Amino acid sequence: MDQLLYASEVFINGLMTGVMYSLVALGFVLIYKASGVFNYAQGVMALFAALTLVGIMNGQVPFAHLINAMFGTHLDKFGWTVPAVLAIVLTAGVMVLLAILIEKLVLKHLVGQEPIILFMATIGLAYFLEGLGDVMWGADIKTLDVGLPQGISDTVEQLTDSWFGYGFFIDRLDIWATIIAALLVTALVAFAQYTKQGRAMRAVADDHQAALSVGISLQFIWIMVWSIAGFVALVAGIMWGTKSGVQFSLSLIALKALPVLMLGGFTSIPGAIVGGLIIGVGEKMFEFWIGPMVGGATENWFAYVLALIFLVFRPQGLFGERIIERV
Amino acid sequence: MFYREAGDFKTSYRDDGQTFPIALDRWGYYAIVAVAALVVPFVINDYWASAILLPFLIYAIASIGLNILVGYAGQVSLGTGGFMAVGAYSVYKLMTAFPEISIIAHILLAGGMTALVGMAFGLPSLRIKGFYLAVATLAAQFFLVWLFNKVPWFYNNSASGQINAPERTVLGWAVTGPAATPAAKYLVCLAFVVFAAWIARNLTRGMFGRKWMAIRDMDIAAEIIGVNPLTAKLSAFGVSSFFVGIAGALLFAVYLGAAEVTEAFGINKSFLVLFMVIIGGLGSIFGSFAGAAFLVVLPVFLKNLLVGTFGWPTDLAAHFELMIVGALIIFFLIVEPHGLARLWRLVKEKLRLWPFPH
Amino acid sequence: MKLKFASLVAGAVMAAAPAMADLIVPNLSYRTGPYGANGTQYADGFNDYFTLLNERDGGIGGEKIQVPECETAYNTEKGVECYEATKEGALVFNPLSTGITYQLIPKVSVDKKVLYTPGYGRTSAKDGAVFEWVFNAPANYWDGASVAIKYLLDQNGGDLNGKKVALVYHNSAYGKEPIRTLQELGKKHGFTLTEIPVEAPGQEQKSQWLQIRRDKPDYVLMWGWGVMNQVAIQEAANIRFPMENFIGIWWAGSELDVLPAGDGANGYKSLTFNGVGMDYPLYDDLKTHVIDPGKASQGGEHVGSAVYSRGMYAAVVIAEAIRKAQELSGTSAISPEQLRDGFEQLDITPERLVEIGLPDFGPEIKLSCANHGGSGMARLQQWDAAAKKWNLITEFTEPDAEVLAPLIAEDAAAYTAENNITPRACD
């Protein structure tokens, strides 16, 4: 009985973790769907967005370290702080600007290239953004607090305690992440289904050539998609950054999203969510049951192996578009 | 004017099909090999060996290996770091278990071991394609690293889990361990590079190479004209992993001398070698060298330029180094999406016609 | 094109060669990458102390000290590059990375350079007969594990029978270091040890902390590094694990590790082998000679932090060893061999620390030919989240040599057997 309770606790926490993975995976899916680009820089974008957010909130002087090194000044902070909501809006603006720059300077010149070339370009982008983020805001670990609660949820603990005699642990941040993820996905789906731009975006995703021929501006759609992905990166950055502080390792969460993508399919938004949940639950359950027998720390590879097993049966992922091959 | 085919007559098919059909290229190649083998060992010092030449040669082997898989056979793999770890740990186990056998044999055996592991992890490629395969190979990467970290047998139960290369000699010269001279280490790596490039070149223009390229260009069509995808894909994984394993073995035994699997063979290695292959040029042996040079030499060069010459603080220099490398990757892709190898080919085309292009 | 590029490279490399002069103590630092935040503070402390000596005293024994810095990004290959780039004329290396240390141990014995690895690196380097060129005073990981257990013994009236201790560790060579020691100590004192590995980088530790919440160990020890520390402390706060029963190794004891968790981190303890805070007379000199004239490394924003202090402490020990070497050899421009002798005769007494201006900043260090690791003493500090500062809560405590000595002998013997070394005679 105890084992069952523990297992269900692990199960629920796995679901919650899965939501956090999905948040990162969403950004990949959006860009891949609309432009066929596998955006390796998505993780670094999350880091960059979170760094910018903290920088704006704390009133840091951008490029302070560079300016100080060049001119021998002692710039550090402007001396004001910006409320979280305003800072998020401003950061979203920065991400839009970034999207425009990426389109103008990189993607525009690579229209019609093979996917692997575009993938490579995003690697270059990742290098560049990583350096830029550090030069702009410094390599310190920054505390991010936008007012999201953290820690065990007492309500859940007391409730489950009165039901089962064992209080479940659920992190309040995870509950918030779930709510925010649900809102985000609803908004994205509504946007894609009911707005003109959203429909144009889906048209581009289906067929670039056809979309162009009916007068949809590819350029605009790409900027839009990259902006949305930048915003998703910001949300992911806030969630993960709240937990661990904003620091370089934030860019590595992309690695957590890759098995989710494989499993859910690169082209499906519901796939990113369901994939995230399956990976989250799968790796937590495996670590719980099998982990102790093989020495633990299995989570990193188990997610990939799980996705691999799925793929052998469904090579396009759970929700991916069917691959039809013709000669 | 000097670089041309005119006057260079071929009298047999053999001559016509050779790797360097243009005399100047051929002589250039011989000259480079001669300088590399006969002059460099006498002028090499610790810094040049450890900072530039050894990593360049070793990564060149790894990218030749990965290029066979990605560039010729079209199977994108991100398991390189894990396969290098297989090479490194195989050579470590062999070195310590059979100290009387030559290290060269151990390194080749480590390559063979890696080939077997690579083929096993290549099996899913029969079902999974494209980026899905790339991500699937990450399973190999993470699983292998975890395995080497977890099972004490692989690191001979040492307290810390680090592996250390004991001293081994070739013809009386120490090539591993602290007493090895830079020249000896360099020559061993050079020999393996020449060997790898020679094998790879001849495989890729023979039956195997044609099968791989057929699979790459369109696997269903290839199957219809009688290429067996099972043997073609698995042989690509095997040959590729063989070279990658040799690179891993050299990286650990000759270059680093000590390694810890999570740090030395992590996911970053997989990405790094893939970047080399793509930047250098897919499906080109020369491209493998160019890519390795680009990503090994450029950061060192930038670091020395920014810190040494301009006197920047090291952290700013490191950040700018990232930005410059990133910007250069994008720049090269925009100028020439098919890598440095294609740029080189274009330069040669131009040279052939120079100075009268019309 | 090739030629031009090669000559450019050659030019840049030439330019990088350090000018020969003075005493050269390279700083192989990392200010970028996953561990850059910690590396920056350490490097700043290390630089600033030598700057202070140069500015205030004109160096050591009249010789200026040069501290060329080289960025390793905590990457072993870059570390090797940095070592080769800076070794010309260098006296001693302090790479602040266990991986790079393992790389350099065989190299320094051939190149005859001193390798000083305070609080990290290879533990059995304490055995000076085997590791002639490596010093790891004042304390190593096994000392740390033993001191932590000793502290727990004190807390429990000398009896840990039946207690449960969990070790949360970075799943790498570094994190695995204390396991053997803790197992042996468990046998001796009767506590059970649960090992809980966290795969690097460690942003996701939910299953680990759910396990701790379920098993309810009495104490949790942590060998963490980088983002793993912040997440672990946050998760411990999330499950309401009593923070005063949560003890980290010294590398999990900086402000950076506890600040992101806010008030939740209050009461968290960590080991340390150096003092923290600004209440030392040396900081007055540092302010006059280094910070105010604007000569502090990177603007001096981290002065007084735990990791900054540790970097400064490493510099203090190196400076004392240089002083000792000058005294022994009678020359001010010492060689690495003389510095090694200086390290082996090193005797940093509490009185000497008072003279330096850092009373009770570190343990007493007395080294010899056979003992390169000192006494292994460490102490505990506790985080006060309201005041945002660390408080020292114990005196320096000696580790349990009875348990450690055979382990060190065993590991050193393994190294000699593996590498065919004959230990030198130490008497």
Residue A65: both structure tokens together: 């370290």
CB atoms within 10 A of CB C420: 10
**According to the model, what pLDDT value does residue C15 have?**
43
Domain boundaries, chain A: 17-250
Q: Which tokens hold the place of A150?
A: 């953290």
* C43 touches C300 (CB < 8 A): no
Closest by CA position to B68, among listed B181, B216, B170, B187: B216
Q: Which residues of C touch A (CB under 8 A)?
A: 31-34, 36-37, 40, 171, 195-199, 201, 203-204, 206-207, 210-211, 213-214, 226-227, 230-231, 234, 237-240, 256, 259-260, 262, 264, 294, 298-299, 301
Contact C37 A249 (CB under 8 A): no
> According to the model, what pLDDT value does residue B152 have?
87
DSSP character at residue C373: S
- In this structure, the strands spanning B163-164 and B258-259 are antiparallel
Chain A positions touching C40 (Cβ under 8 A) are 139-140
DSSP codes joined into one string, A110-138: GTT--HHHHHHHHHHHHHHHHHHHHHHH-
A143-162 residues labelled b (16+ CB within 10 A) or e (exposed): bbebebebbbbeebbeebee
Beta carbons of B160 and C70 less than 8 Å apart: no
Mean pLDDT, residues C109-133 taken together: 90
Pairing outcome for strands B173-174 and B169-170:
antiparallel
Report the residue of C81, C87, C96 to disrupt the B interface, i.e. the one with the largest count of B CBs within 10 Å: C81
Pull the structure tokens for residue C389.
């500062």
Domain-embedded: residue B148: yes
Q: DSSP letters along C182-244, please?
A: HHHHHHHHT-EEEEEEE-SS-S--HHHHHHHHHH--SEEEEE--THHHHHHHHHHHHTT--GG
Cβ contact (<8 Å) for C207 and A299? Answer: yes
Cα Rg, chain A, nearest whole Å: 21
Q: What is the pLDDT of residues A259-295, one digit of tens each?
A: 898 888 888 888 899 999 999 999 999 988 888 888 8
A197-209: per-residue pLDDT in tens?
888 988 887 777 8
Determine the average pLDDT of the residues in B151-173.
84
Q: B71 in a domain, yes or no?
A: yes
CA dist., res. B130 & res. B136, Å (int): 10
Closest approach of A284 to chain C, Cα-based (Å)? 6
CB distance C40 to C258 below 8 Å? no
Distance CA C345, CA C283 (A): 28
What is the least distance, in Å, from the CA of B223 to any CA of chain C?
42
Tell me the chain C residues in contact with residue B55 when contact means C-beta distances shorter than 8 Å: 77
- Decide if pLDDT at C2 tops 50: no
Residue in chain A lying closest to B280 (CA): A120
Provide the ipTM: 0.90
What is the rounded CA–CA span in Å between residue C347 and residue C352? 9
Which chain A positions have a beta carbon within 8 Å of B322's beta carbon? 127-128, 130-131, 134
Least Cα separation, residue A16 to chain B (angstroms): 23
| CA pair distance C151, C180, nearest whole angstrom | 19
Q: Say whether the peptide bond before residue C201 is cis (omega within 30 degrees of 0).
A: yes
Nearest to A131 among B131, B132, B320 (CB): B320
C-alpha A120/C-alpha A128 separation (Å) is 13
Q: Going residue by residue through chain A, which has 327 residues, state the pLDDT in tens, using 9 for 90 and above.
A: 788 888 898 999 999 999 989 988 999 998 988 878 889 899 999 999 999 999 999 988 888 888 887 777 777 788 888 899 999 999 999 999 999 999 999 988 888 788 888 888 898 999 999 999 988 988 888 888 888 888 888 888 888 888 888 888 888 999 999 999 999 999 988 988 899 988 898 888 777 788 889 988 888 898 999 999 999 999 999 999 988 889 888 888 888 888 898 888 888 888 899 999 999 999 999 988 888 888 878 888 899 999 888 888 888 778 777 767 666
CA distance B198 to chain C (A): 22
**CA–centroid distance for A104 within its chain:** 23
Helices then strands (H, E): number in chain A?
Answer: 14, 0
- Which chain B residue shows the shortest CA-CA distance from C86? B47
B317 in any annotated domain? no
Q: Are C84 and B47 a contacting pair at CB < 8 A?
A: yes
Output the six-digit token pair for A7. Answer: 């297992």
Nearest to B50 among C70, C80, C200 (CB): C80
State pLDDT tens for residues C337-385.
999 999 999 999 999 999 999 999 999 999 999 899 888 899 999 999 9
Cβ(B246)–Cβ(B108) under 8 Å? yes
Phi-psi region of C30 (alpha: psi -120 to 50; beta: other; left: phi over 0): beta
Mutation for B interface: A304, A305, A322, A324, most B CBs within 10 A: A304
The answer for C 241-280 residues in CB contact with B (under 8 A) is none
Domain hosting B150: range is 45-266
- Shortest distance, CA A108 to any CA of chain B (angstroms): 9
C199 close to B286: Cβ distance less than 8 angstroms: no
Tell me the mean pLDDT in the region B102-118. Answer: 95
Look at the block and give the residue holding tokens 């060992």. Answer: B41
- Rounded CA Rg of chain B: 21
Could you tell me which residues are beta bridge partners of residue B169? Answer: B174
Q: Note the pLDDT of residue C21.
A: 58
Q: What is the DSSP string of A246-295?
A: B-GGGGGGHHHHHHHHHHH-TT-HHHHHHHHHHHHHHHHHHHHHTHHHHT
Beta-carbon separation of C210 and A140 below 8 A: no
Question: A291 to chain C: which residues are within 8 Å by CB?
Answer: 207
| Cβ contact, residue pair A304, B136, below 8 Å | yes
Which C positions 389-418 lie with beta carbon below 8 A of chain B?
407, 411, 414-415, 418
Is the pLDDT at B205 greater than 50, yes or no? yes
pLDDT at B273 over 60: yes
Question: Which of A37, A45, A120 would best serve as a mutation to test chain B binding (most B beta carbons within 10 A)?
Answer: A120
Tell me whether residues A312 and B128 touch, CB distance under 8 A: yes
User: What percent of chain C has a predicted confidence (pLDDT) above 70?
Assistant: 95
Name chain B's partners: 3 or more CB pairs within 8 A. A, C
Name the CA dihedral angle for B82, B87, B89, B90, rounded to a multiple of 10 degrees: 140
Residue B8 predicted with pLDDT over 80: no
Task: Average the pLDDT over B310-333 and give the result.
Answer: 87
Place of tokens 């973790």: A17
Q: Are C200 and B96 inside 8 Å of each other by CB?
A: no
The answer to whether the CB atoms of C226 and A152 lie below 8 A apart is no
Are B257 and C106 within 8 A, CB to CB? yes
Which residue is it, tokens 């047999």?
A: B12
Give me the phi and psi of C71, to 5 degrees please: -85, 120
pLDDT digits (tens, 9 = 90+) for C291-333: 888 888 887 888 889 999 999 999 999 999 999 999 999 898 9
Which positions in chain B touch C15 (Cβ < 8 Å)?
Answer: 304-305, 308-309
Measure the CA–CA gap between B224 and C59, rounded to whole angstroms.
Answer: 78
Decide if pLDDT at C5 tops 60: no
Q: What is the pLDDT of residue B2?
A: 67
What is the average pLDDT across C399-427?
Answer: 85
Going by their DSSP bridges, the two strands C92-93 and C134-135 should be labelled as unpaired
From chain A, the residues in CB contact with B150 under 8 A are: 294-295, 297
Touching B: C residues 171-190, CB under 8 Å: 171-173, 176-177, 180
Q: Is beta strand C379-384 parallel, antiparallel or unpaired with respect to C389-392?
A: antiparallel
Structurally, how many domains does chain B consist of?
Answer: 1
User: Quick one: pLDDT at residue C336?
Assistant: 92
Using pLDDT thresholds of 50, 70 and 90, give the confidence band for residue C14.
Answer: very low
- Please state whether the predicted TM-score (pTM) of the whole model is above 0.80: yes
Of B149, B256, B297, the CB nearest to C171: B149
Q: B107 Cβ partners below 8 Å, 6+ apart?
A: B91, B192, B246, B249, B250, B253
Amino acid, single-letter form, for residue B240: S
CA angle B244, B248, B252 (to 5 degrees): 170
Mean per-residue pLDDT for B114-133? 89
Pick from C12, C36, C40: which is nearest to B308 by CB?
C12
Task: Say yes or no: C66 contacts chain B, CB-CB below 8 A.
Answer: no
* A68/C227 CB distance under 8 A: no
Interface of A with C (CB under 8 A): 6, 9-10, 13-14, 16-17, 65, 68, 72, 74, 76, 134, 139-141, 143-145, 150-152, 169, 171, 240, 243-245, 247-250, 252-253, 256, 283-284, 287-288, 291, 295-297, 299-300
Residue B102 tokens, joined: 């030559």
Whether the Cβ atoms of residue C17 and residue C261 lie closer than 8 Å to each other: no
Q: Which of B334, B336, B338, B340 is most worth mutating to test chain A (most A CB atoms within 10 A of its CB)?
A: B334
- Sorted by sequence, the CB contacts under 8 Å of residue B58 that are 6+ apart come out as B189, B247, B250, B251, B254, B255
- What is the distance, to the nearest Å, from the Cα of residue C241 to the centroid of all Cα atoms in its chain? 28
Judge residue B271's burial from the number of C-beta atoms within 10 Å of its C-beta, 0-12 exposed, 13-18 middle, 19 or more buried: middle
Which one of C227, C235, C263, C266 makes the best mutation probe of the A interface by having the most chain A beta carbons within 10 Å? C227
* pLDDT at site C232: 95
Q: Which tens digit of pLDDT belongs to each residue from B34-45? A: 888 888 888 888
